[in-house]
Amino acid sequence: MRRVVFDSNAIDPLAVTEGAFETLKEATVSGSLEVLYTHITIDELTAIPDPGRRSLLVLLMADLGRLVPTGTAAVDFSRLNFCRVGSDTDGDLLEALRSGNVNHTRDALIASTARYEKCALVTNERRLTARSREWDIEVLTTQELLAEFATPAT
């Protein structure tokens, strides 16, 4: 079974690519894919100003996946009941993933969750991809994940 953690920017293509959501939903129902997401993902999606788009993306994520605690915690970002308190090495990981920039903390928490859960991170952000791979976190784009589960044309 393929297991993945979704970054919020990886959900948009599911809403705009014909058949994308259905492809991944079928894979989750069949048991060949498990999609995970964190409160950070939901927090970012609920901050979208357009109410229609916001609702659609939150519902797609909730229908497709399962909420898990973040891989570690960060003061002022983590929700107490939705994070894991980590060790000093987890702090090193978090700091490296955010490259010393507090503005990247949310992305770092999502990537640390992929590492904790021992699964791939699905993101369309190049900066996060590069930093995650430095820590041996497998990274896929939404399109790469879809390609794994696409039914070949006959």
Overall domain count for the chain: 1
Neighbours of 54 (CB within 10 A): 14
- Write out the residue range of the structural domain in which residue 32 sits: 2-149
25 within domain boundaries:
yes
d(CA 61, CA 2): 17
At 103, the pLDDT band (50, 70, 90 cuts) reads low
Residue 97 located in a structural domain: yes
> What average pLDDT does range 126-154 have in this prediction?
88
Report the alpha-carbon distance of residue 152 to residue 86 in Å, rounded: 42
Beta strands in 28-125 (DSSP E): 33-37, 66-67, 120-122
CATH number of the domain enclosing 91: 3.40.50.1010
Residue 71 lies in a domain: yes
Task: Tell whether 154 is covered by a domain.
Answer: no
Q: pTM of the prediction?
A: 0.86
Nearest to 16 by CA among 57, 54, 51, 68: 57
Say yes or no to pLDDT of 154 above 50: no
Rounded Cα gap, residues 118 and 55, in angstroms: 29
